[in-house]
Amino acid sequence: MTVEMETVRVAVVGAGLMGCGIAHVFAAAGNNVRLYDSDPGALRMVRSRIDAGVVELGGSEQIIDLIEPVSSLDAAVGGADVVVEAVIEDLAVKRQVFAALDELAPPSALLATNTSVISISAIAESTSRPERLLGTHWWNPAPLIPLVEVVPGAHTAPEAVERMVSLLSAVGKRPVRLKRDVPGFIGNRMQHALWREAFAIVEAGIAEPEDVDEVVKASFGARLAVLGPIENADLVGLDMTKAIHDYLLPHLDAGVSASRIVSDRVAQGELGMKTGRGLRSWTAEEADAVRARLVRHLRRASIGGQ
Ligand SMILES: NC(=O)c1ccc[n+]([C@@H]2O[C@H](COP(=O)([O-])OP(=O)(O)OC[C@H]3O[C@@H](n4cnc5c(N)ncnc54)[C@H](O)[C@@H]3O)[C@@H](O)[C@H]2O)c1
């Protein structure tokens, strides 16, 4: 007897970087995806973006056949089992999308927001179905990074969380549930604690930016994909961890706003690779090489499935 894999009808709202990546993942697992964007230019780009994603990130050329760009929200979400919102990171715009979904999406549809940091409960204030709405925080590039953080808002039903976890597992992702909605969820809280300290070391003149990156890449960064901080603490022993923390933590940066070296460069228009200079200087070739190196590494690690 063959067991048919369940397929779902997915609508993705916002056809930018993340919306196209999320559509890619659902389609690669055999699901039909409708993709809507309020910008007709973004919709026109879908085909070339997905095709480029297949070449760069992997997957079959048939993925595009399951993805239909549509020019109205109504057409995208009518009949959908799951709606994933991936519009710009703006609370008012996200609230407008979910208010419109009240009228347009089937009552049974699971509603997800891909916000990076905004409170799920705050977004859910605009919907009459907060029990169906939850956060799914995907990471870029969505086809290669396995994690999706699943975040309940204050009124999300536990069944909605379980349903989303099982859908994400079925498309090859590694979903992790949060017990509640906090800014930055889990991943971005830890990632930006590390960045804050990296910037503080440069700002204090302790090391050059290149050397800060080299320390991470050539030491604990090399272990991180297979050894999380909590299992690492247990591995080395909590007695040593306690001794290190009691001595070291008072010396770490505890700033509550963006570091001065970052704010100053932003004020000067030095935004990083896209302007040729940020905390380090970048030619276009060097920037391309960094992106290519990242994709090569992720594909070699093949931790993302596909
Ligand atoms: N870029 C990342 O690495 C990353 C990672 C995780 C989560 N996110 C989050 O995912 C979301 C999307 O980010 P992105 O990087 O794909 O942005 P993006 O700018 O590439 O795409 C956003 C798209 O939303 C469209 N849009 C704006 N308002 C709309 C509306 N009312 N209805 C329909 N479409 C609308 C825009 O035209 C644009 O095409 C944001 O909430 C972001 O914080 C981004």
Please indicate, yes or no, whether residues 76 and 211 belong to a single structural domain of this protein. no
Contacts of 206 (CB under 8 A, 6+ apart): none
Q: Where are the alpha helices (DSSP H) in the chain?
A: 17-28, 40-57, 73-77, 91-104, 120-124, 158-170, 187-203, 209-217, 220-223, 229-236, 238-248, 260-267, 284-301
Please indicate, yes or no, whether residues 207 and 226 belong to a single structural domain of this protein. yes
Q: Is the dihedral of CA 268, 270, 276, 282 positive or negative?
A: positive
Contact 182, 170 (CB under 8 A): no
Distance 284 CA to ligand 1 centre (A): 24
Q: What is the pLDDT of residue 165?
A: 98
Q: How many whole angstroms separate alpha carbon 21 and alpha carbon 108?
A: 25
Low-confidence ranges of the chain (pLDDT < 70): 1-5, 302-306
Contact 15, 45 (CB under 8 A): yes
Beta bridge partners of 35: 12, 69
| Mutational test site, ligand 1, from 18, 96, 104, 148, max ligand atoms within 8 Å of CB | 18
Judge whether 255 lies within some domain: yes
Q: What is the pLDDT of residue 4?
A: 57
Report the candidate in 158, 201, 194, 151 with the shortest Cα–Cα distance to residue 176.
151
Judge whether 292 lies within some domain: no
Domain count across the chain: 2
Please indicate, yes or no, whether residues 173 and 214 belong to a single structural domain of this protein. no
Q: How many whole angstroms separate alpha carbon 117 and alpha carbon 14?
A: 17
Amino acid letter, residue 20: C
User: Which pTM was predicted?
Assistant: 0.94
CATH classification at residue 110: 3.40.50.720
Please indicate, yes or no, whether residues 80 and 192 belong to a single structural domain of this protein. no
90 lines ligand 1 (CB under 6 A): no
142 lines ligand 1 (CB under 6 A): no
Q: Which is the closest atom of ligand 1 to the Cα of 13? A: 33
Say whether 147 sits in a helix, a strand or coil: strand
Please indicate, yes or no, whether residues 46 and 80 belong to a single structural domain of this protein. yes
Judge whether 72 lies within some domain: yes
Q: What is the pLDDT of residue 55?
A: 86
Judge whether 284 lies within some domain: no
17 lines ligand 1 (CB under 6 A): yes
Q: Which is the closest atom of ligand 1 to the Cα of 15? A: 39
Please indicate, yes or no, whether residues 166 and 235 belong to a single structural domain of this protein. no
12 lines ligand 1 (CB under 6 A): no
Judge whether 112 lies within some domain: yes
What is the chain's mean pLDDT, rounded?
Answer: 95
118 lines ligand 1 (CB under 6 A): no
Please indicate, yes or no, whether residues 241 and 172 belong to a single structural domain of this protein. no
Q: Which is the closest atom of ligand 1 to the Cα of 140? A: 3
Judge whether 301 lies within some domain: no
Beta bridge partners of 226: none
100 lines ligand 1 (CB under 6 A): no
Report how far apart, in Å, the C-alpha atoms of 267 and of each of 61, 168, 213, 270 are. Answer: 43, 40, 24, 8
120 lines ligand 1 (CB under 6 A): no
Distance 115 CA to ligand 1 centre (A): 9
Enzyme catalytic residues: 116, 137, 149, 188
Q: Where are the alpha helices (DSSP H) in 58-153?
A: 73-77, 91-104, 120-124
Amino acid letter, residue 259: S
Structural domain boundaries, residue 94: 9-177
Question: Tokens 């276009």 sit at which residue?
Answer: 284
Burial degree of 277 (CB within 10 A; 0-12, 13-18, 19+): middle
Q: How many whole angstroms separate alpha carbon 306 and alpha carbon 304?
A: 7
Please indicate, yes or no, whether residues 201 and 67 belong to a single structural domain of this protein. no
Distance 112 CA to ligand 1 centre (A): 13
| Mutational test site, ligand 1, from 88, 138, 192, max ligand atoms within 8 Å of CB | 88
Among 177, 201, 226, where does a domain finish? 177
